[in-house]
Amino acid sequence: MNRKKLQKLTDSLTKNCKHFSKFEVKCLINLFYNLVGEVTERQGVIIGLDRNAFRNILHMTFGMTDDMIMDRVFRGFDKDNDGCISVTEWVYGLSVFLRGTLEEKMKYCFEVFDLNGDSFISKEEMFHMLKNSLLKQPSEEDPDEGIKDLVEITLKKMDHDHDGKLSFADYEQAVREETLLLEAFGPCLPDPKSQSEFEAQVFKDPNEFNEV
């Protein structure tokens, strides 16, 4: 990509993304192209990170392990649903992922947890997401009993309108009462440690791009 185009892209992204400075946007764009590798730009071919590459990043950089959640995070980033994260999606996604306000993060997390995208987190979805969260007690007759119970506990805690599923309103209210419930069904945000490591690594050496 030529310099001019890059400059333009940086400017437009910086304008639309309030959580990053121009320098930071530039770093992220650089990182993106480093990750994608040298692909010659051709018409019709989308440049971007595919599912596996992205999952790899989530796993290696942010220490995520849950396959399902990672898939959902990918979906969260991939706004146009083309199976590939473009540079714009990358910067926007990271903006919420790293620096999002509570509101933005709630929205993002809810989308991640809402597996089928019907704007509700249903019991089944919860069960699905929590099914590996308990050590199997071999003594128990029904190994899923604990999970089911956990789902009930969660519903009791979060389902304010008692309709047996979580709407965004339910979720939002619960999170506002107790921030710990933001990632109630699995870690889908970076933990503070890997986040600061990532930022330190990516946004280093400001002198090199001293244009801001």
Partner 1 sequence: MGVALTRSAQWTAAGHGAKTLEVTPLNEAIVKEIIMFVESFIYKYPQEANYVFVEPLEWKTNLDPSAFGSGYAVSGTTVKSEEADKNGEPLLYLSVPQIKIRSFGQLSRMLYIAKNMKLKEAQACIEANRNPVAKILGLDYNIISEKIGNSFVSNILDKITKDDDSESEIKMKIALQLKQLDLHLLNHSLKHISLEIRLNPGTVKNDIELLKQFSGKGKQTVLESIEYTSDYEFSNGCRAPPWRQIKGEICYVLVKPHDAETLCVTCSKEGVFLNGGKTDDEGQINYERKGEIYKDLVTLLKEKSAIFSENMSKQEIKFSEQPQKDQPNEAPKEEVAITHKASVTSRKSTQEKNRINLGRSQLTKRLEPSLNWRTSVSSKDRNTLRDTQVEKHGGKLEKSRSSVSPGRAQLIRKSVEKIEEIISDSSSESEEDEEQPDHRQEANADLPSEYWQIQKLVKYLKGGNQTATVIALCSMKDFNLAQETCQLAIRDVGGLEVLINLLETDEVKCKIGSLKILKEISHNPQIRRNIVDLGGLPVMVNILDSPHKSLKCLAAETIANVAKFRRARRVVRRHGGITKLVALLDCGKHSGEPAQSSLYETRDVEVARCGALALWSCSKSYANKEAIRKAGGIPLLARLLKTSHENMLIPVVGTLQECASEENYRAAIKAERIIENLVKNLNSENEQLQEHCAMAIYQCAEDEETRDLVRLHGGLKPLASLLNNTDNKERLAAVTGAIWKCSISKENVTKFREYKAIETLVGLLTDQPEEVLVNVVGALGECCQEHENRVIIRRCGGIQPLVNLLVGINQALLVNVTKAVGACAVEPESMMIIDRLDGVRLLWSLLKNPHPDVKASAAWALCPCIQNAKDAGEMVRSFVGGLELVVNLLKSDNKEVLASVCAVITNIAKDQENLAVITDHGVVPLLSKLANTNNDKLRRHLAETISRCCMWGRNRVAFGEHKAVAPLVRYLKSNDTNVHRATAQALYQLSEDADNCVTMHENGAVKLLLDMVGSPDEELQEAAAGCISNIRRLALAIEKARYS
Q: Which residue numbers belong to the known binding site for Ca(2+)?
A: 78, 80, 82, 84, 89, 114, 116, 118, 125, 159, 161, 163, 165, 170
Q: Return phi, psi of residue 157, to 5°.
A: -75, -35
Q: Which amino acid is at 1?
A: M
Q: Which of 3, 42, 135, 162 binds partner 1 (CB under 8 A)?
A: 135
Q: Return phi, psi of residue 30, to 5°.
A: -55, -50
Q: Which amino acid is at 206?
A: P
Site stretch for partner 1 (CB under 8 A), options 6-14, 30-38, 76-84, 132-140: 132-140
Per CB under 8 A, does 212 bind partner 1? no
Q: Contact 5/24 with Cβ under 8 angstroms?
A: no
Q: Which of 48, 76, 93, 186 binds partner 1 (CB under 8 A)?
A: 186
Binding mask 7-36 for partner 1 (x = CB under 8 A): ------------x-----------------
Q: Which of 191, 201, 204, 206 binds partner 1 (CB under 8 A)?
A: 191
* Residue 204: CB minimum distance to partner 1, A: 15
Question: Closest Cα to residue 198, out of 206, 207, 190, 187?
Answer: 190
Give the 3-state secondary structure of residue 116.
coil
Per CB under 8 A, does 184 bind partner 1? yes
Instruction: Give residue 86's region: left, alpha or beta (phi > 0; psi -120 to 50).
Output: beta
